[in-house]
Amino acid sequence: MISVEYRNSTDDSVFDGFQQSLQSNPVGVFVINIEGRLEHVNERASKIFGYDSVEEAHGKPLSQLEFFFSQPIVARINQLLIDREPFKIHCFPGTNLAGHFAHYCLSCNCSLASEGHANGVFGIIEDVSDQVKRQQELKSRVDELSILSQISQEVSSAIDTEEVLKVILTGVTARQGLGFNRAFLFLLDDDSKMLTGRLAIGPTDAAEAGKIWSSLEQDDRSLPDILSLYQEESERSNRSLTDLISGMRIDITNGSLFARAMQERTPLVVGWETELDRVTDRILNRLGEKQVAMTPLVTRDRPIGLLLADNAITHEEITDHDRQFLKLIADQTAAAVERSYLYRDLRERAVELERMNRKLAETQHQIIEAEKMSVIGEITSAVAHELRNPLTIIGGFANLMNKNLDPGSSDTEYLSIIISETQRAEAVLTDVLDFSKASKIKDRPLELNSMIHQVCDMLSVRMGNGRGRIRLGLSDSELPLWGNPDQLLHAYYQILYALMQDLPAEAVPKISTYSLSGDCRMEICCDHAPQHRGDVEKTLMQYFGSNNNTKRLSLIVAEETVKHHGGNLGVESNPEEGPVLFVQLPLHKEIADA
């Protein structure tokens, strides 16, 4: 039998004190002899191994502790007796003889006899479960911070709302981070009264969860890795989970727990014991889980949605810490969603601006072209007019001379050349003037009452002798039109002129104007002279009746002008006023609205 000699021959009392300290040391100390049995065990070591006392442990074979140390560690201890190399295992899990599971730290070295040969193994064992737990907690916090940081990085580069939401929800369900099983996102409608289900991430059942999570189990996966894995592994389950909430609309004014979270803007954990209102109960039933954490998404003091997460697969309890961390994620989510909305608006504005810029460039080009044409037109017009008078004079006198010459005169031939060449030059001028005329008259804003006044003034001059008298009952407000001033004045003039010529002198017509359902309307009647109603009707029907084919050319042109401007004219029979001729044209909306 091998014994370990600690005794110092010069001082027995020191040795006794040392052995006593070893016995009560909080660290487990043990010695295994060359036969592989526990030779010395202090109280702590015997407790760690699961023996009731030091005595019970004494002499027990190492093989009895194989389930504690595991086969590789036992092999390592045995090897120590051969190679004498000390070793330390910083952390290993073990379950002792009493069934207690813990994490331990083990260091061993070889005990040597005075002759120099190995006579046993000296070991120190320590329960490091608290340290391990603290390390795990620390790792968990680091993971959480890492997830937050990665989410922050990912969403800062993501601009599409869907992409942002996917990053956030993946962060919520990433195993290294919060580790919720499933996450659901609801966004508030524009009227801020209803939450609408937008996106969900997570497995639909345990089998799917096992498959997805096992692929995520590898260490040090970054969020982008997880995102890409999620794309491949969980697209189908995410879709069916999203289908579960898509179209779901939750009223946030009805006092449900959802409404409370939104109104109070605080995160909530709904537990298995929480008393549920009807709405919340119905929704959680649909999601298939009664324990959830929910937190509102708030940005700039304005709620925009709600994040909901649960552990529907593992049924792990949601702690207060989980709730707080979910709140942190929600704050980031809100900011990211807000930013993505802003970006979306910005993008839409940019597209609109680009469209407007294109339009502006086109218009600018058209204006330049039109101005060029206008300038060319004006120059050619001015030149042509300046040339026409001399040509008239040259050609006119040539004609005059030609008439006065004797028929046989030799000058006749030359004068004929002058006359024909002058006429050719005049024909060219006419073509040039036709071109320049085309760009002169343009449509522009007009006002009906003002046009009626102009036409009436003109008619009274034209008709004379007391004829051409007209009674006016024009609208107090202006009646804006858009059109060609010359064409419309001509149309009104021709219509009134034709009517006035054929009416009896005593029948003074009345013109009234007013707006009617987006149109401006002019009416002509002879309401004050019932005795002439027959004549008036005959005249009106002659010129403006729908079945009439003998209209004057000027009236046909007038009618076409009115139609060309989007209006119409006709005759209506009014029991009080007799026959009424009306001309109706669209009001110029922009000016009228202004």
Partner 1 sequence: MPKLLVVDDETFIRMLYKKEFESDGYEVSLASNTDEALNMMETQQPELVILDIELGNESGLALLNRLRQKYRDCAIILNSAYSTYKSDFQSWLADAYIMKSSDLDPLKDKVKTLLAGDACGRRK
Residue numbers of the site for partner 1 (CB under 8 A)? 381, 384-385, 388-389, 391-400, 403, 419, 422-423, 426, 430, 433-434, 437, 440-441, 454, 458, 461-462, 464-465, 485-486, 489-490, 493
Q: CB of residue 505 vs partner 1: minimum separation in angstroms?
A: 16
Q: CB of residue 369 vs partner 1: minimum separation in angstroms?
A: 21
C-beta closer to partner 1: residue 34 or 429: 429
Q: What is the DSSP letter of 277?
A: P
Q: CB of residue 378 vs partner 1: minimum separation in angstroms?
A: 11
What's the rounded Cα separation, in Å, for the pair 185 and 195?
A: 9
Q: CB of residue 490 vs partner 1: minimum separation in angstroms?
A: 7
C-beta closer to partner 1: residue 52 or 486: 486
C-beta closer to partner 1: residue 461 or 594: 461
Q: CB of residue 479 vs partner 1: minimum separation in angstroms?
A: 19
Torsion angle of alpha carbons 409, 412, 413, 418, nearest 10°?
150
Q: CB of residue 400 vs partner 1: minimum separation in angstroms?
A: 6
Say how many Å lie between the first and final Cα of the chain, rounded: 115
C-beta closer to partner 1: residue 300 or 403: 403
Torsion angle of alpha carbons 33, 37, 39, 45, nearest 10°?
120
SS (H, E, C) 458-495: HHHHHHCCCCCCCEEECCCCCCEEEECHHHHHHHHHHH
C-beta closer to partner 1: residue 242 or 454: 454
Q: CB of residue 462 vs partner 1: minimum separation in angstroms?
A: 6
SS (H, E, C) 436-464: HHHCCCCCEEEEHHHHHHHHHHHHHHHHC
Distance of CA 65 to the CA centre of its chain: 65
What's the rounded Cα separation, in Å, for the pair 212 and 231?
A: 11
Do 132 and 91 form a contact (C-beta atoms < 8 A)? Answer: yes
What's the rounded Cα separation, in Å, for the pair 119 and 109?
A: 11
Is beta strand 292-299 parallel, antiparallel or unpaired with respect to 28-33?
unpaired
C-beta closer to partner 1: residue 336 or 384: 384
Both tokens of 479, joined, read 């009646």
Strands in 194-201's sheet, in edge-to-edge order, are 249-251, 194-201, 182-188, 302-310, 292-299, 268-270
Q: CB of residue 395 vs partner 1: minimum separation in angstroms?
A: 2
Q: CB of residue 482 vs partner 1: minimum separation in angstroms?
A: 18
C-beta closer to partner 1: residue 42 or 422: 422
Q: CB of residue 514 vs partner 1: minimum separation in angstroms?
A: 24
Both tokens of 5, joined, read 């000699």
User: Whose CA is closest to 110, among 87, 141, 134?
Assistant: 87
C-beta closer to partner 1: residue 193 or 424: 424
What's the rounded Cα separation, in Å, for the pair 118 and 111?
A: 6
Burial classification of residue 243, based on how many CB atoms lie within 10 Å of its CB (0-12 exposed, 13-18 middle, 19 or more buried): exposed
What's the rounded Cα separation, in Å, for the pair 39 and 26?
A: 19
SS (H, E, C) 232-257: HHCHHHHHHHHHHHECCEEECCCCCH
Q: CB of residue 403 vs partner 1: minimum separation in angstroms?
A: 8
C-beta closer to partner 1: residue 463 or 591: 463
Q: CB of residue 394 vs partner 1: minimum separation in angstroms?
A: 7
C-beta closer to partner 1: residue 54 or 448: 448
Look at phi and psi of residue 317 and say left if phi exceeds 0, alpha if psi is from -120 to 50, else beta.
beta
C-beta closer to partner 1: residue 293 or 459: 459
C-beta closer to partner 1: residue 123 or 483: 483
Task: Provide the residue type at 522 as one letter.
Answer: M
What's the rounded Cα separation, in Å, for the pair 185 and 337?
A: 11
Paired strand residues for 85: none
Q: CB of residue 564 vs partner 1: minimum separation in angstroms?
A: 15
C-beta closer to partner 1: residue 1 or 461: 461
Strands in 28-33's sheet, in edge-to-edge order, are 38-41, 28-33, 118-127, 101-112, 87-95
